[in-house]
Amino acid sequence: MRIQTLASRYIGGVFAAAALFGAATFAYASDPTDEAGWTVLSPAAGAQTIYVSSSTGSDTNNGLSAASPVKSLTRGYNLLRDGQPDWLALTKLFEEYAPKAFVVGMPTNADDSKHPLAARVARFCNQLRGRYRVPIETVNEFLSSVEAQSRAHQDPSRLDAVAAQVILETWLNEVRRP
């Protein structure tokens, strides 16, 4: 499979490969480059492959065959993640920025009852605490997505980053209260 162009344009070799193959180990072909100079990678046995094509794909496809590719690497990556944290990316960020704590949005319903995703988020918080040994602060993220959508309306690709900003601002406002 050819990934050189995707890797250099999108998110770097390892992460692009992870986006396409789900952080699997790779087996190099006997000659790791083809006649055009492309790096040839083969997924390890049991690895899941998501097919991506910006020209013929659709993000409504499942990406499980060449006949039904997804359109964007982001969609392919999300299919592979399947709700699981990207520990490689988190560890890289943790090592780069050395945060003293994590702030995590805790989903709640309008009546302050637990949202169905709250248990998964609590598990994620426990995993963060265990891996990085720093305090985990949670904040009610009710309506953070609505606020993020209103702020990011001109650039929807930034929705997740803006939602994280809203969650952090909410936490900072709560900490400042007497």
List of domains in the chain? 4-81 (no CATH), 87-176 (3.30.420.140)
pLDDT band at 6 (very low <50, low <70, confident <90, very high): very low
Q: How far apart are CA 87 and CA 98, in angstroms?
A: 15
Q: What pTM was estimated for this model as a whole?
A: 0.57
Q: How far apart are CA 172 and CA 113, in angstroms?
A: 22
Give the bridge partners for 43, in sequence order.
26
- What does the pLDDT look like over 27-76, one tens digit per residue? 444 456 777 777 766 666 666 778 888 888 888 888 888 888 888 888 88
Q: How far apart are CA 70 and CA 79, in angstroms?
A: 10
Look at residue 7 and tell me whether its pLDDT is greater than 50. no
What does the H/E/C string look like for 21-85? HCCCCEEEEEEEECCCCCEEEEECCCCCCCCECCCCCCCCCCCCCCCCCECCHHHHHHHHHCCCC
How much is the mean pLDDT over the chain? 75
- What does the pLDDT look like over 106-154, one tens digit per residue? 988 888 888 888 998 899 999 999 999 999 999 888 888 888 888 877 7
Q: What is the pLDDT of residue 16?
A: 32
What is the token pair recorded at 53?
A: 């094509």
N-term to C-term CA, the chain: 58
